[in-house]
Chain A
Amino acid sequence: MEAVIASSIILAVLVVMFVIGVLAYRLRVKVLRLDTYMVAGRALGFLVTFLNMAAVIYSGFAFLGASGWAYAFGAPVLYIWIYGALAYTLAFFFAPRIWEVARGRGLLTQPDFFMWRYGSRLLMVLTALVGIVFNIPYGQLQILTTKYVLDLATYGALPTLHVAVLSFVLTMVYVFLGGMVSVAVTNVFLGSIMLAGMLGGGISLIVYHFGGLPGLFKAVEAVKPQHAYLWAAVGRNSVQWVITAAVGCGLGFWVWPQLAQMVFPARDAKVLRRSIVMTSWYHVLGIIWASLTGLVALGLGMKLAVADHAFLALTRDTFGPVVLGFIGAAGMSAALSTAAGIILTQASLLSRNIYQGWLRPTASEREVILVSRLGIVVFTLISVVLAYTAPAYLVYLLLVGYTGITQMFPGWVLGSIWRWITKEGVLAGLVAGLVVGILTCFVWPDYLGIHSIIWGLLFNLPITLVVSKLTYKGG
């Protein structure tokens, strides 16, 4: 009976999500132009921009990984709190500037910016390929996250991998049809559920079991006192790892191409700035309380085979099937909303920057939209196949993903501020950063306890600046 209740709630949310996505296309998309498909015609108001951004940013990790980290490691989870705060502060000043450039020059994707700013087709194609490749494991991960959510939330009553794949495919149907309009409107619904789940679920669990934060930490320190601080000289539980992970991820946060594509659809810079402020509140009201549920599970002495199950297992054991259904639906919403943003972005990079920008510059808008839609089908199939076969090597792409993407920071952020950053500097720095980042990810993992992102940037930034100074010709 519990399985029926919880499953019904989750499936109901899935159906509503699909209906909204399709209706958004039928009712809001009158003429399908390329800018409509990729950036909703740059017409999104505050509420849609804000919740769309939040829904794409906070993936299934918010419901599984964050609480799992708190359960397993304790204090290192604070890097997530810090990097979010850092990222939103930087975006408050930097994102409106990028938005204005994009609107003024008709830019639709992040690699469009690299083409416009540096006049380099090589940089454009390279950044498009980096954006596509490093996002592949994230797409697949959202299917698996949905599966894990369903495993717990449906008491094992459903064939969860198949249902997760089905929900992913249903999401991609409305993405295929309406592009960013469907994604954004649906994300208003999904983003609202997510926030309610994280905030409501997190605070309820803390108050129910421990009366508040002091009681929670007292219980945690009784079980694992080392969770309260950073106790190691090197490694994940060291001060330097948390600092470098927080700074590295904070700088790389807005370099992910799907977040650039969530910035461009805003109606104006004021809407964008307001959305960023509200998303910073979303961070505080959402991910912090969701991650603390891991400590609740630890404080209660729960023995979890998989740390990532902390939030949902706790909800199941504390509140029963109705609440579990809603929290499970929120977790599924988090995964699918992010997946929608990722797949649309990958398809946009493929069609706009690889196909039209490089292979066929004379392609019409209609052709590019067709290639985008084909791209959505292709990337959906790739994610589904990988979800079933789950090759181990994808984990390596995940691990190096943030490190790799953040190496575009100088070209993307500094290049939008300083005129003297050149394509030669960006290319040289990018290559150096990628090589060092990969080495410190796999060969000498987080050497000296410093995150590989920072190792990459330590070589990338000076090389970018020096080579740019040497090659800048003025004007």
Chain B
Amino acid sequence: MGVAERKRSIERKFMAIVALIWVMLSAVLPLVNRPDVHVFGIPLLWFWVMLWVFVVPVVLSVAYYVLEVAP
């Protein structure tokens, strides 16, 4: 395996691991399931999921800037 190919292989493995972690994090969101806890008057489960789904486009926007605009 050449240097470039090895680098691509490592990049793919890294992306696969990151993707797996992201899927796992998304999956555990509903575990925050406490009907007795509220944040700013919003049930914890709803607040936590809402926060997560708002964070995602922010993170993607930053990632887009880093990958496509900044270089």
Contact = CB atoms under 8 A, between A and B. Distances in A.
A75 B45 contact: yes
A81 B49 contact: yes
Interface in A79-93: 81-82, 84-86, 88-90, 92-93
Interface string A229-265: 1110000000100110011001100000000000000
A22 B22 CA distance: 43
A274 B68 contact: yes
A78 interface: yes
Contacts of A242: 30
Interface string A254-296: 0000000000000000100110110011011000100000000
Interface stretch (A13-21, A214-222, A424-432): A214-222
A92 B60 contact: yes
A281 B57 contact: yes
A166 interface: no
B19 interface: yes
Nearest to B44: A229
Interface residues of B, number: 36
A78 B30 contact: yes
Given A78-B30, A88-B60, A228-B35, A273 B12 contact: no
A433 B29 CA distance: 26
B9 to A, nearest CB: 9
A89 to B, nearest CB: 6
A228 to B, nearest CB: 4
Contact of A273 (B22, B28, B41, B67): B67
B46 A217 contact: yes
Contacts of B6: none
A320 interface: no
Interface string B33-53: 111001011110110011011
A214 B15 contact: no
Given A81-B50, A246-B26, A246-B27, A221 B64 contact: no
Contacts of A93: 15, 19
Nearest to A227: B43
Contact of A277 (B50, B52, B57): B57
B57 A214 contact: no
B10 interface: no
Contacts of B4: none
Contacts, number: 115
A119 interface: no
B22 A86 contact: yes
Nearest to A76: B30
A213 interface: yes
Contacts of B15: 93, 417
Nearest to B55: A85
A284 B42 contact: no
A239 B33 contact: yes
A217 B30 contact: no
Given A78-B29, A82-B49, A228-B43, 12 more contacts: A75-B46, A82-B52, A86-B26, A88-B56, A90-B23, A215-B41, A217-B38, A229-B45, A239-B31, A243-B27, A243-B28, A276-B60
Interface of B: 12, 15-16, 19, 22-23, 26-31, 33-35, 38, 40-43, 45-46, 49-50, 52-54, 56-57, 59-61, 63-64, 67-68
Q: Which 7 pairs, one residue from A and one from B, show the smallest C-beta to C-beta distance?
A: A214-B41, A228-B43, A280-B57, A229-B35, A85-B56, A85-B53, A86-B26
Interface of A: 75, 78, 81-82, 84-86, 88-90, 92-93, 213-215, 217-218, 221, 225-226, 228-231, 239, 242-243, 246-247, 250-251, 270, 273-274, 276-277, 280-281, 283-284, 288, 417-418
6 contacts: A82-B53, A88-B56, A92-B60, A243-B28, A251-B23, A417-B16
